[in-house]
Structure 1
Amino acid sequence: MMDSPVPPTSHPRAALDATDWALVDASDAAATLEVDSATGLSAAEATARRERFGANELDAAPPEPAWRRILRQFADPLIYLLLGAVVISAIAWLFEGARGVPIDAIVIIAIVIANAILGYVQEAKAADAVAALQGMAAVSATVVRDGRSEQVPAADLVPGDILALAEGDSVGADARLLSSSSLQIAEASLTGESVPVTKSATTLPEAVPLGDRANMVFKGTAVTQGVGRAVVTATGMQTEMGHIATMLAQTEQEPTPLQKEIAGVSRTLGIAVIVIAVVVMGAIGFTSGIGSLQDAVDVLLVGVSLAVAAVPEGLPAILSVVLSIGVQAMSRQGAIVKHLSSVETLGSASVICSDKTGTLTRNEMTMLRVHTGSGVADITGVGYAPDGDVLVDGSPLLESDPGLDLRAEDIVVLSGGTLASDAEVRQDADGSWVVVGDPTEAAFVVAERKAGLTERREQRFTRVGEVPFTSERKMMSVIVEDAEHPLDGTGRGRPVLVAKGAPDVLLQHCTRVRSGMEVTDLTDDDRRRVQASVDSMSAQALRTLAVAYRPLETDEHASATDAAGDFDPEAGLALEEGLIFVGTVGIIDPPRSEAATAIAAAHRAGIRVVMITGDHPSTALRIAQELGIAAAGDRAIAGPELDAMDADALRAAARDVSVFARVAPEHKLQIIDALQADGQVVSMTGDGVNDAPALKKADIGVAMGITGTEVSKEAAAMILTDDNFATIVAAVRQGRVIFGNIRKFLRYLLSSNMGEVLTMFFGVMLAGYLGLTGHGESIVVPLLATQILWINLITDSGPALAMGVDAETEDVMARPPRRADERVIDGQMWSGIIAIGAVMAIVTLLAIDIFLPGGLIEGSEDVETARTAAFTTLVLAQLFNALNSRSERVSAFHRLFSNRWLWAALAFGVVTQVLVVHVPLLQTAFGTAPLAPGQWLVCVALASVVLWFDELRKVGIRALERRR
């Protein structure tokens, strides 16, 4: 116990942190923290405490300084080689008398710095995108402030806040319980305890370990059952979770499978290219001889620049940016992906297991039909907006029967059902209609509004008592006073009991039936008629409810009131006899209009859709058939059937059956296990606490953003902000587009770099055949080191990033899901990379041969012009290759101008190449000579061969696909 309060606004925080709140009475805890447990903190006080105590957040790793991030761009073995080459080049320049400017060293330094700046910018963009996504998925908490409950970000909690805890909530801060009812908390994330802990507000007599503090709740844990109130005692790093975070050493984030594969490709390429570079340097030395230190430096520069150019060292940064941009696009469509790595799995999803209510349906209970003794009335309109009519024989109810002689019982059903409910339907400021209360009861309220009866009912009837609904009774009743039938001398209306409930239950309380204005005894034929109407609506997946009533005598009403005149529900049970049966209604949660289209798109993409719901099998199957999940004649399997199955039978059922109904949480896990054992990549939707294990087990867990609990959101990999199945399919499409774009820029980068490697290798090996020898140069190379580095800088990052945001060049939903074991760069893609690289090398070397004398084709230009033509041809060939790389099989001319960013990157590449060729300063730096218009045309024509070759290759691929 504490001897005296410690005002948190005036005392150091250490005094609060040192307190063992489990030993403090609940009332004393609130007093110590200066808060009224009923009204909570004021908004002004909460703001003041947040300024004093800081945000309720765990300290992140200190942000990496910008200078360190810049330096990290140079931490690459190949960059070390380049920098070493710069040093050697500078030393050679000094030894040779420091004549002129060390062009090679300056150009290499400039390119290395430019590459570092580009990498820095790309990393910063990726980090910003990820941070924005994390903010979207931030946890919230319910607090009492200024006497009102409100949702606030968990980061805004302060010591003294009153937390309102309910099933499904995440606990936002450490807090002392003030009250609880059946409260259980899952504390595995903190204590390792696998079973939820039962909590109580009782003060502990002595200090106990963390896991035994039953009157405390802790940040980062989750409410699995019950409700409670608690006063926040610690936030941020002062919480128990914060203490653990303080002790944890910073760990490296595990790379995703995609990043691992790309790193592996880069390493393999690096080794191969270094070997090739060594061979090339040896060949240069053998064929040309090394007569001076400058010759050795030139050979080294060629080898090092070749290695740097061939390995796409910018891949990790480009990959992060592309993933982040794609995930941001998904968030704008209503799908928040919490981890970038999940995008890989989205493209592979082969089965989507979806809940029914709210995901495939609108979660807006809508009354469609009324059955009475006079016949059937249909109700138009869907959802909670009162737009529609009650139709009898195709005409609105009141118009078809102005005197209400024949269809008066329809009026009683709608208004009576509304009276016997506690739901409200109201319009928000934005014009949307929302329900407060039970959605099924709201269906009566909306239908009554459609019939135009609301005002009349409100003026006529006043509720004076209620016998509430229970799951055992399956009905509820209200006592209302009818102002149109006043009691003499009292000024009050006659009491009437109105009941609503399950038809079979309500019939047991009825002795009479109403048809039109006539009330007669309830016969067996009447009971059969009612049952037939119930069966008819149930077959259409409608939920049925019935309405009955009975005018009460004054003494009957008095017998159910206590001495103070208040209605006694227990005594009111006796009044629920001898009722007059009026009619039955059919209510449904209608399917989302867009869900059927999305399901069809999923099926076309080779993705199965499986409905897993707790609803009745017939209702689930009917909705599934309407949406196209199940076909006519299919069956639904219920939970008890699953219990009776062994592993083989369950796997067979999961493979063949698309509707599972009346399932428990463990059944969802069993279905997912069976599907995964069958080799499927499973996406699973859920919203409740009991869905969390299945969401975590699934390859892609999808939580509902509107109806989902905090626990389900934390367990899931993706959150739907609109709870809409169509958004899942849209996310799968976007995931496939992102993955396809990754393959595009990988195809582009690797084939372009392959072209550079092969050009240098065969250019040295075939120098004599190309006419490269005998021109007074001590070192014979097809391209200079600075030219290779320029190609690597200009043609890599811009087009690659532009392809990362490319639109669909082919219908990604027209092919089956990518297998989980399928390589990002498969055999067909490698063959294309090598083939395109070879063609690039051929046309580049052909440009040298065309312009130089002494080769296979006799030319007349000097070696500087020929090398410039080859340099330009290779740059343009790579820009043409950007158009090729947008698809492995679809023509580059399909949707040719759909990506403006790609065309901007290509234009930038062309303009900078023109500058390098024709600006004197750049000519000196890169060893180029000006080209005449005709020579430019030759370079463009040669470079375009890459495009035409790949078009022919794609024709062959499509022909092979048609023959399969």
Structure 2
Amino acid sequence: MGAETAHPSRVDAEDVARGLEVDPAVGLGVAEAARRLERDGPNELRGIPPVPIWRKILAQFHDPLVYLLLVAVAVSIGAWLFERADGSDSWPIDAIVIAAIVVLNAVLGFVQEARAGDAVAALSTMTAASSTVLRSGELATVPSADLVRGDVLVLGEGDHVGADARLLSESALRVAEASLTGESEAVGKRPDTLPGAAQLGDRLNMVFKGTSVVEGVGRAVVTGTGMDTEVGAIATMLDATPAHVTPLQRELERISRTLGLVVIGIALVVMLTIVLAQGVSTPADYVTVFLLGISLAVAAVPEGLPAILSVVLSIGVQRMARRNAVVKNLKSVETLGAASVICADKTGTLTKNEMTIERVLTASGEARVTGVGYRPEGEVLDADGRPLGGADRGDPDLGGADLGGADRGDPDLSDPDLSDPALHAEVLRTLGIGSLAGNAQLLEHDGVWEIQGDPTEAAFLVAAGKLVGTNGRVARFGRRGEVPFTSDRKMMSTLHEEKADGSLRIFSKGAPDVLLERCNRIQVGEAVVPLDEQRRRRAHEDVRALSAQAFRTLGVAYSHVDPGSTPIDESHEHDLIYTGVVGIIDPPRDEATAAIAEAHRAGVRVIMITGDHPGTAARIASDLGIVPPGSTAISGLELDRLDEPGLADAVRRASVFARVSPRHKLRIIDALQANGQIVAMTGDGVNDAPALKSADIGVAMGITGTAVTKEAATMILADDNFATIVVAVRQGRVIFDNIRKFLRYLLSSNMGEVLTVFLGVLFAGALGLSGASDEAVVLPLLVTQILWINLVTDSGPALAMGVDPEIDDVMARPPRGLTDPAVDARMWLGILSTGVVMAIVTLATIDLFLPGGLLPGDDSLAVARTAGFTTLVFAQLFNAFNARSETSSAFRRLFVNRWLWGAIALTVLLQVAVVQLPFLQVAFGTARLDAVHWLICVAMASGVLWVEELRKVVLRGLDRA
């Protein structure tokens, strides 16, 4: 049968019911429903078992850099065991420290990510707890989980739809589908069979699981439950969507591989150099050489990097949280800083998701309504910007104007503060009548304005409140009847009684073309005149003008009703008096325009992806500055006709995509990523969840977002504010800059240590080292001193740089490319040059105090080695200031980071202690230095600062060229 081969929306409702073997007038029998439930399973989404805690903990160790550190631990323990066999009673301090750092890093990562849940399981929270169905001819309330195919749903205002169903009948049924389709307005439903395939948002004869009824009643036969629903399809898509590795994770893996090769090379080259240069021959000398090679290899690995990285990212998470951006995954913190594209959902993200009247066109002209959202604050202005009136002018109950004719208690419109009395009267009637011809309510709770009912009807309440206050309709009119809206009639009317004299009026609103056909008069100021062809043509032109600006239009009319003609019906909706037409739109957020401009300044492209109408999407995108005025949107149907090369070209040139499905969003994200873009995707509805998971970073709305979007995303905006995304972009770039700072600092400092030992051994004779001792292997630094340098300089200063304030304007440069490394060629060159300068000043200091070298000296080897040791420590501290920027002077914003100054002061005190205190002298092989020695050490170490300042001057010149 057709119902078995075609989509239910394209099959007659009776045939769908027949194919499901159900009588729509009776519903399924209780026994048959139980049999189908047993056969098909409950109407629930398939969940994924939670990940055990032990697997989450082990996942924290799944990192190449951690692997490298664990190898260093193993090698250090092996060397320690070798020493113990040779009679040493020392402890494997370096292995213990590195192991502790690895464990600390895992704990930090686990704690930060502990609240991350399962996205597919969260989808089940969207299902209503219960549904009303027809069973054996009687209404019954059953758990939504017990719905089966063939059940007849009975829907009413406020109900949540428990399953996908084909509409059988309806009366003024309107369903909010924003969370599923992205459509900002409630959708009118009708049971008519669709002639062909349609996008999800255009299947007007279907209702879907997870949506809600905002108006009217209807009956529908269930065609899909559980994973066979549209929400279930999204759950399946979400489950199959792989999570992307963050750019930072990719870069750390690359750095780890590089460091692994460097470590092995260092160990081999240093050991071979010492053996060849110093004539090693005895087993004890070979052991010394081996231990030194291992120590240098371990020293070359910035063992504090994972823990420092986790701490810095955790601090970044806290900073972002204070700015309403909640990040769930540590390594995703900096990803927004790398984002080159932000794909933003329109409804609720770039807009307020609060329908607002912005224009009122009447016979006498045009009025503009200021203010957005449901808070009744703003003004109604004429074309010249003069106020038409307000709650403080005239009678507060809708201005005292007669809403039914010119012969009753008109307000005094001669007030010179009012712009145009005729326009004021017409706008007052249009907004007042529109606010009465509806069922919505506007409520205030603790200063927060909320609506109950249809958002479009609420827009009239808000606009009328801006003109005359919010209490007029309740005080003056009593409601006596209604002709409800239907998708066929495209209008509704209400009957009201004037409390003062008992007279009756009918107030109508609806599609302007439909309403105008029922009007034969028009309001002009306080007069009612015939609606001749010229005025009718002008009214239609007004409607077209608003539609061209992507406004949703509604016309408003009224008429007197004879007291004996109640109850009213459609026969009363004739010979109406037309008052005007309003333009309604879901307005952009005030702060979104500035945020988008800031994103563009930072080289970040903003793309709107929405399920809304293409014209509306293009208008909002133009207002926000995403695209130039007059631009058009690409629809989902157009995307379906594009092959992969065509789609790749479309995402390069277009920035607005409308009427798209979840599948389209995924295709757009994948195409952008295939073009080498780092993509951030924002959204609030369940339809956004797969795209959020597929994007490099998914950003969910914290207030309006569904549970699934929050779980699928890696970042949540607590204030639903698009501007917060741009703030997070800046913070992400600052975090990445700080990561580069401490990478530059750690790698260049470690390079200085390695080159000091390597060059010291290679040129031991020229420096006077060979003649200063009878040992076969004379080293410029002892192994314990190398480990001490790593301990005091690789922790505090590096961590302090991780929280460094913004030095350069991070939003003045384009985002880094997908393949751009964190440590690029220029940075590696700077690391090498800094390491060379550190080695030179350290070895020059040793030579200065040793006799027999290039420079005259008369101190002992212990003093000279201690001076070189101290110079290297201080050189690394000077390097901390160098590392804060690749091109800016170290003196720029020198004192803004008090943590860095504190870390340096602590390191200096520790170095003084290790040199001057006797028990530490024994442990680390140091000798006491006098004041002259200290001054020389500081002066020599500062050479790192001055050479780097000169290099930065050259770099700045090259960048300007």
TM range (shorter): 0.7 to 0.9
CA deviations on 1:563-587 (whole Å, 9 max, x unpaired) are: xxxxxxxxx2333222211122233
State the TM-score, normalizing by the size of structure 1: 0.76
Are residue 626 (structure 1) and residue 623 (structure 2) matched? yes
Are residue 812 (structure 1) and residue 806 (structure 2) matched? no
Residue 925 of structure 1, aligned match among 923, 926, 948: 923
Residue 761 of structure 1, aligned match among 742, 755, 758: 758
How far 1:435 moved relative to its partner? 2.4
The answer for unaligned runs of 5 or more in structure 1 is 1-22, 31-36, 38-54, 95-101, 148-159, 167-176, 185-194, 201-212, 227-239, 245-251, 487-493, 561-571
Residue 792 of structure 2, aligned match among 784, 791, 794: 794
How far 1:657 moved relative to its partner? 3.1
State the TM-score, normalizing by the size of structure 2: 0.76
How far 1:291 moved relative to its partner? 5.7
Query: 1:466 maps to what in 2?
Result: 482
Segment drifting more, 853-862 vs 124-133: 124-133
* Cα separation, partners in 2 of 1:852 and 1:221, compared to 1, 3 Å: farther
Residue 77 of structure 2, aligned match among 83, 87, 98: 83
Q: Within 1, Cα distance between the matches of 2:118 and 2:882?
A: 38
Query: 1:583 maps to what in 2?
Result: 580
* Cα separation, partners in 2 of 1:357 and 1:215, compared to 1, 3 Å: closer
Matches within 5 A, 1:264-663: 264-283=257-276, 287=278, 289=280, 293=284, 295-343=285-333, 345-391=335-381, 393-397=386-390, 399=393, 402-403=411-412, 406=422, 407-429=424-446, 431-486=447-502, 494-558=503-567, 560=568, 572-632=569-629, 634-639=631-636, 642=639, 650-663=647-660
Amino acid at match of 1:870: G
Q: Within 2, Cα distance between the matches of 1:679 and 1:804?
A: 28
CA deviations on 1:618-658 (whole Å, 9 max, x unpaired) are: 44333333322222454444555556656555544432333
Query: 2:157 maps to what in 1?
Result: none
* Cα separation, partners in 2 of 1:915 and 1:777, compared to 1, 3 Å: farther
Amino acid at match of 1:796: D
Residue 702 of structure 2, aligned match among 700, 705, 713: 705
- Secondary structure at the counterpart of residue 743 of structure 2: helix
Q: Within 2, Cα distance between the matches of 1:607 and 1:142?
A: 34
CA deviations on 1:767-786 (whole Å, 9 max, x unpaired) are: 11111122334131100110
Q: Within 2, Cα distance between the matches of 1:747 and 1:119?
A: 21
How far 1:812 moved relative to its partner? 1.8
* Cα separation, partners in 2 of 1:413 and 1:221, compared to 1, 3 Å: closer
Number of residue-to-residue matches in the alignment: 821
- Secondary structure at the counterpart of residue 299 of structure 2: helix
- Secondary structure at the counterpart of residue 587 of structure 1: strand
Is 1:547–1:584's contact at 8 Å kept on the other side of the alignment?
yes
* Cα separation, partners in 2 of 1:495 and 1:329, compared to 1, 3 Å: same
The answer for unaligned runs of 5 or more in structure 2 is 1-29, 38-42, 132-141, 149-159, 168-199, 201-205, 210-221, 240-244, 400-410, 414-420
How far 1:845 moved relative to its partner? 0.4
How far 1:510 moved relative to its partner? 1.4
Q: Within 1, Cα distance between the matches of 2:79 and 2:855?
A: 35
Q: Within 1, Cα distance between the matches of 2:248 and 2:651?
A: 33
Residue 716 of structure 2, aligned match among 716, 719, 741: 719
How far 1:866 moved relative to its partner? 0.6
Are residue 126 (structure 1) and residue 109 (structure 2) matched? yes
Amino acid at match of 1:898: V
Amino acid at match of 1:126: G
Is 1:354–1:609's contact at 8 Å kept on the other side of the alignment?
yes
* Cα separation, partners in 2 of 1:291 and 1:220, compared to 1, 3 Å: farther
Residue 866 of structure 2, aligned match among 865, 868, 872: 868
Percentage identity across paired residues of the two chains: 51
Q: Within 1, Cα distance between the matches of 2:659 and 2:35?
A: 47
Matches within 5 A, 1:131-146: 131=114, 139=122, 141=125
Amino acid at match of 1:259: L
CA deviations on 1:375-402 (whole Å, 9 max, x unpaired) are: 4444333322222233464352573894
How far 1:305 moved relative to its partner? 1.5
Q: Within 1, Cα distance between the matches of 2:115 and 2:856?
A: 60
Q: Within 1, Cα distance between the matches of 2:488 and 2:331?
A: 48
CA deviations on 1:684-704 (whole Å, 9 max, x unpaired) are: 333334434444444434333
Is 1:609–1:658's contact at 8 Å kept on the other side of the alignment?
yes
Segment drifting more, 952-961 vs 361-370: 361-370
Q: Within 1, Cα distance between the matches of 2:246 and 2:820?
A: 24
Matches within 5 A, 1:796-945: 796-945=794-943
Amino acid at match of 1:811: D
CA deviations on 1:180-209 (whole Å, 9 max, x unpaired) are: 56299xxxxxxxxxx9x9999xxxxxxxxx
Segment drifting more, 586-595 vs 914-923: 586-595
Segment drifting more, 315-324 vs 836-845: 315-324
Is 2:119–2:708's contact at 8 Å kept on the other side of the alignment?
no
Q: Within 1, Cα distance between the matches of 2:948 and 2:476?
A: 80
- Secondary structure at the counterpart of residue 780 of structure 1: coil
* Cα separation, partners in 2 of 1:943 and 1:183, compared to 1, 3 Å: farther
Q: CA RMSD in A?
A: 4.4
Query: 1:173 maps to what in 2?
Result: none
Q: Within 2, Cα distance between the matches of 1:311 and 1:587?
A: 62
Q: Within 1, Cα distance between the matches of 2:474 and 2:361?
A: 24
- Secondary structure at the counterpart of residue 471 of structure 2: helix
Q: Within 1, Cα distance between the matches of 2:643 and 2:128?
A: 50
Q: Within 2, Cα distance between the matches of 1:165 and 1:313?
A: 58
* Cα separation, partners in 2 of 1:504 and 1:433, compared to 1, 3 Å: same
How far 1:615 moved relative to its partner? 4.0
Q: Within 2, Cα distance between the matches of 1:802 and 1:24?
A: 70
Residue 61 of structure 1, aligned match among 53, 65, 84: 53
- Secondary structure at the counterpart of residue 861 of structure 1: coil
- Secondary structure at the counterpart of residue 629 of structure 1: coil
- Secondary structure at the counterpart of residue 476 of structure 1: strand
* Cα separation, partners in 2 of 1:137 and 1:289, compared to 1, 3 Å: same
Q: Within 2, Cα distance between the matches of 1:536 and 1:437?
A: 28
* Cα separation, partners in 2 of 1:220 and 1:531, compared to 1, 3 Å: closer
- Secondary structure at the counterpart of residue 556 of structure 2: strand
Is 1:85–1:297's contact at 8 Å kept on the other side of the alignment?
no
CA deviations on 1:671-729 (whole Å, 9 max, x unpaired) are: 44554444433333333344344444444343333333344445444433333222222
* Cα separation, partners in 2 of 1:798 and 1:471, compared to 1, 3 Å: farther
Amino acid at match of 2:617: A
* Cα separation, partners in 2 of 1:222 and 1:371, compared to 1, 3 Å: closer
Q: Within 2, Cα distance between the matches of 1:695 and 1:85?
A: 49
* Cα separation, partners in 2 of 1:671 and 1:123, compared to 1, 3 Å: closer
